[in-house]
């Protein structure tokens, strides 16, 4: 590679050499160029028949709104705006962007300015030369530039950029996880409130059954044992509501903390009656390859692999010579008014090069350590991809299983209700003992409670599916770039050209970024 310096460089030999080195700076970049790993993903899901393909990504961005619950929408908005973990993630991102500026500054000259004045008087007791007075003034500008001939700084900036992108994806993954946890707690609280209502209805029914047993005993149609058994059943049922009330309080406390407040902040709002959350008829689902490209935690893993690969180049560049160009220009004069005259001008220029001859294998070990770190990052990415696909399959299985169970549970609850009504009529007419009433009452309560738990499990399966898809985060960068720094690379800029399409898995086949969810 040639560098033309005839117009820009002085004709002195030292300055010419410096210019040639400056022209060569940036020509060589050691270390491997990053290529995103290509993973063989399954063509479809095992439970794919239970879902409809595709799906509106805008719906997935705010998927919790499908529950049509204004209070839930307020809770999620509050959590995304005030949760402390998100604030911590943003602070880490600001820190990384500041560090990136520090790293990139190594490629630029370092300038300093200095001024000095001194006065001296010689001793009159000396024979030669005789004593006298002297003054000197100095004003100068010093510059030092380390040439990035082998790409050490460029690889370090590349690693810093990838690290920033990983932190952006971490912030998005935290958003998705926070939303899923909040919605799961909210669904659990509403289910606990439903179970509490069922338990209280069961207590009321058992109170009526106890009165019926007492009337039958007084009329000679029942026994004292029936009364005692009915009373014991009612007392046992009365022990369940306090447990459910504790669950409701615990989930309410968790929701208050998740929204960035205190445990009791939402107590009044959560205690108000609310309609049952709708059961989704179907769920949108992407292909496995789309999930890999879209889940923010996997995107963060891929960016960390890119950063680790760039650090191999940083370590390899450390094994090559380092070249530095110190420059100095200034004036010196005995009188301050002569500082800016041509006679006082002085300058210096040099080229310095150095390379370690013996370091006991430190540089070679640094390269080996960087390579091992990149290998580990690649394995982490591949492991997390497989775990993510497993999360989707588990969520689909849980969702479809609960939908199948609910068919039987609903029929069981209806049959138990009819059995209780018939057993109660027979006992009131003196045609049967009290035991059939007790058995029917227990069966009805268990069927209704099991149905409520199944509906909770189904909704939690929905939440788990959206979380496993990586839904619930915003596309926009969570923080603007620090003033004076280069803006971090976005998906749109990464996907420009063939190099972007091959190096960044979020790019589509045509080079456009994956549409916003």
In eight-state DSSP terms, residue 513 is B
Per-residue model confidence as pLDDT tens digits over 484-517: 333 333 333 334 333 333 333 334 333 333 333 3
Cα 293 to Cα 298: distance, rounded to the nearest angstrom: 8
Provide the token pair at 196.
Answer: 């509490």
The SS3 assignment for 324 reads strand
Find tokens 């960068």 and name the residue. Answer: 477
- Residue 445: its pLDDT value, please? 93
Asked if residue 471 lies in contact with residue 176, where contact means CB atoms within 8 angstroms, the answer is: yes
* Contact (Cβ atoms closer than 8 angstroms) between residue 89 and residue 167: yes
Residue predicted with more confidence, 371 or 219: 371
The yes-or-no verdict on residue 79 having pLDDT over 60 is yes
Could you give the 3-state DSSP secondary structure of residue 444? Answer: helix
- When pLDDT is averaged across residues 216-220 and rounded to a whole number, the result is 86
Spatial separation of the C-alpha atoms in residues 351 and 325, rounded to whole Å: 5
* Tens-place pLDDT, residues 426-484: 888 888 888 888 889 899 999 999 999 999 999 999 999 999 988 888 765 454 444 33
- Helix, strand, or coil here: 281? coil
β-strand partners of 147? 323
Of the candidate ranges 19-33, 247-261, 375-389, 404-418, the one whose mean pLDDT is the lowest: 19-33
Q: Express as a percent the part of the chain with pLDDT over 70.
A: 81
CA distance 307 to 91: 20
CA distance 309 to 311: 5
Calpha distance 257→5 (Å, rounded): 64
Per-residue pLDDT at 13:
46
Q: Map out the domains of the chain with their CATH numbers.
A: 29-35+48-500 (1.20.1600.10)
Return the structure tokens found at 470.
Answer: 């990586």
Whether the per-residue pLDDT at 369 is higher than 60: the answer is yes
Per-residue pLDDT, 333: 78
Instruction: Give pLDDT, residue 126.
Output: 58
What CA–CA distance (Å, rounded) separates 176 from 208? 48
Which tokens in the block code for residue 322? 């380092």
Is the separation of the CB atoms in 96 and 160 below 8 Å? Answer: yes
Contact 96, 161 (CB under 8 A): no
The larger pLDDT score, comparing residue 493 to residue 49, is at 49
Q: How far is CA 379 from its chain centroid? A: 19
Coil, strand or helix at 375 = helix
């Amino acid at each position: 590679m040639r560098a033309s310096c005839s117009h820009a460089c002085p004709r002195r030999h030292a300055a010419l050499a410096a210019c040639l080195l400056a022209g060569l700076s940036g020509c060589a970049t050691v270390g491997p160029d990053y290529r995103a790993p290509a993973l063989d993903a399954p063509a479809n899901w095992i439970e794919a028949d239970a879902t409809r393909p595709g799906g509106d990504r805008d719906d997935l961005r705010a998927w919790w709104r499908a529950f049509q619950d204004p209070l839930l929408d307020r809770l999620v908005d509050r959590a995304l705006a005030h949760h402390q973990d998100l604030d911590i993630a943003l602070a880490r991102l600001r820190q990384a962007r500041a560090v990136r500026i520090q790293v990139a500054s190594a490629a630029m000259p370092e300038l300093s300015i200095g001024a000095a004045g001194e006065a001296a008087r010689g001793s009159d007791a000396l024979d030669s030369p005789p004593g006298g007075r002297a003054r000197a003034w100095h004003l100068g500008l010093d510059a030092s530039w380390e040439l990035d001939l082998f790409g050490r700084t460029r690889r370090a900036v590349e690693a810093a950029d990838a690290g920033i992108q990983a932190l952006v994806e971490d912030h998005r993954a935290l958003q998705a996880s926070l939303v899923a946890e909040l919605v799961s707690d909210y669904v659990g609280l509403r289910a606990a409130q439903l179970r509490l209502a069922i338990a209280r209805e069961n207590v009321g029914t058992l109170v009526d059954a106890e009165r019926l047993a007492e009337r039958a005993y007084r009329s000679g149609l029942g026994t004292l044992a029936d009364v005692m058994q009915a009373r014991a059943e009612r007392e046992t049922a009365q022990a369940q509501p306090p447990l459910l009330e504790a669950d409701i309080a615990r989930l309410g406390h968790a929701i208050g903390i998740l929204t960035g407040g205190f445990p009791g902040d939402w107590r009044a709002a959560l205690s108000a009656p609310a309609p049952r959350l709708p059961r989704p008829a179907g769920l949108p689902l992407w292909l496995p390859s789309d999930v890999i490209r879209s889940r923010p935690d996997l995107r963060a893993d891929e960016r960390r692999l890119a950063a680790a690969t760039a650090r191999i180049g940083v370590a390899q560049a450390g094994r090559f010579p380092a070249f530095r160009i110190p420059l100095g220009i200034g004036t010196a004069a005995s009188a301050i008014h002569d500082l800016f005259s041509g006679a006082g001008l002085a300058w210096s220029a040099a080229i310095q090069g150095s390379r370690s001859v013996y370091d006991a294998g430190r540089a070679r070990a640094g390269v080996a350590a960087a390579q091992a770190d990149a290998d580990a990052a690649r394995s982490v990415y591949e492991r997390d991809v497989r775990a993510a696909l497993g999360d989707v399959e588990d969520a689909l299985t849980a969702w479809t299983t609960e939908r199948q169970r609910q068919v039987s549970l609903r029929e069981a609850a209806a049959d138990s209700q009819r059995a209780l009504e018939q057993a109660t009529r027979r006992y009131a007419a003196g045609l049967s003992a009290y035991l059939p009433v007790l058995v029917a009452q227990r069966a009805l309560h268990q069927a209704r409670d099991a149905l409520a738990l199944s509906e909770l499990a189904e909704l939690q399966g929905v939440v788990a599916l959206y979380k496993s898809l990586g839904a619930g985060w915003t596309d926009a960068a969570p923080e603007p770039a620090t003033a004076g720094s280069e803006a971090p690379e976005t998906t749109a800029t990464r996907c420009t050209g063939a190099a972007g399409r091959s190096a960044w898995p979020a790019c589509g086949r045509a080079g456009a970024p994956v549409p916003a969810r």
